[in-house]
Amino acid sequence: MKVVVITGSSRGIGRATAIEFAKNEYSVVVNYNKSKQEAEKVVSEIKNFGQDALSFKADVSDFNEANNLINFAIKEFGKIDVLVNNAGISLQKIFQNVTESEWENLFKVNVWSVFNCCAAVANHMISRKKGKIVNVSSIWGIAGASMEAHYSASKAAIIGFTKSLAKELGPSGIHVNCVAPGVIDTEMNNFDEKTMEELKNEIPLKKIGSAKNIAETILFLASEQSDFITGQTISPNGGLI
């Protein structure tokens, strides 16, 4: 039985990823920060189709809490095969109005969390000479987005980190890749109907992506089918870029 830890899997893309991995016979550690009830629902859904799952509260922007999450998974399941760094927040604001503390908080949740969890799991994966890490960036980390300079910068940082860590951990048999989703139907995109319709019209495939679309890409990057892929960024975005 393989074991996956997915940060921010109480809702949205993380939730869909937890379900997708469970369907593929993984034991799942469902991490949440604020949404305890939602995380427990994900756990019972997974248990309903016969897989093992546990929820764990950790604010992964905090180094010690991220460590606790990784140690919990190793203690309960004996190992970690896959780490998915998915937890993230967004903020749409014109650049001049972004405060220093908003910038700091965004980087802590989106970037430090990835460092924190990778740092916590690295020695474990190195000693096993295998492991897969999938980091969730964003299309805007590649293309840049107006009114989201801070968010785009945090997501671009994840791509640079992924490329470098892949080079460093490759000789130890560890894969590090990135998924950079386009516009996906989750609570993060809390736009009105008109804005969503406009966004849809800009996408060549004329549809908003689903959380499942991203979960399937993450699962691919964790699977044996991607065994010669590392340091890469895949952007499921309906052809937007």
- Where do the H-state alpha helices sit in the chain? 12-23, 36-48, 63-77, 100-107, 113-128, 139-143, 149-169, 193-202, 211-222
Nearer to ligand NAP, 33 or 51 (CB): 33
Three-state SS for 206?
Answer: coil
Binders in 175-194 for ligand NAP, by CB under 6 A = 181, 183-184, 186-189
For residue 194, give every residue at least 6 positions away whose Cβ sits within 8 Å of its Cβ, in sequence order, or none. Answer: none
* DSSP string computed for 63-110: HHHHHHHHHHHHHHHS--SEEEE---------GGG--HHHHHHHHIII
* 89 touches ligand NAP (CB under 6 A): yes
Q: Does 55 bind ligand NAP (CB under 6 A)?
A: no
Confirm or reject binding of residue 217 to ligand NAP (CB under 6 A): no
Whether residue 26 lies in the annotated active site: no
User: Which candidate in 22, 151, 154, 209 is catalytic?
Assistant: 151
59 belongs to the binding site for ligand NAP (CB under 6 A): yes
Nearest-approach distance from CB 197 to ligand NAP, in angstroms: 15
The binder of ligand NAP chosen from 27, 51, 55, 86 (CB under 6 A):
86
Structure tokens at 198: 């406009």
Rg (CA), the chain: 17
23 vs 34 by CB, closer to ligand NAP: 34
As given in the structure block, the two tokens for residue 91 are: 């903020």
Interacting stretch for ligand NAP, rule CB under 6 A, among 124-132, 134-142, 193-201, 225-233? 134-142
CB distance 98 to 91 below 8 Å: yes
Catalytic sites, residue numbers: 151
Please report, as ranges, the residues that interact with ligand NAP according to CB under 6 A: 7-8, 10-14, 31-35, 59-61, 86-90, 109, 136, 138-139, 181, 183-184, 186-189
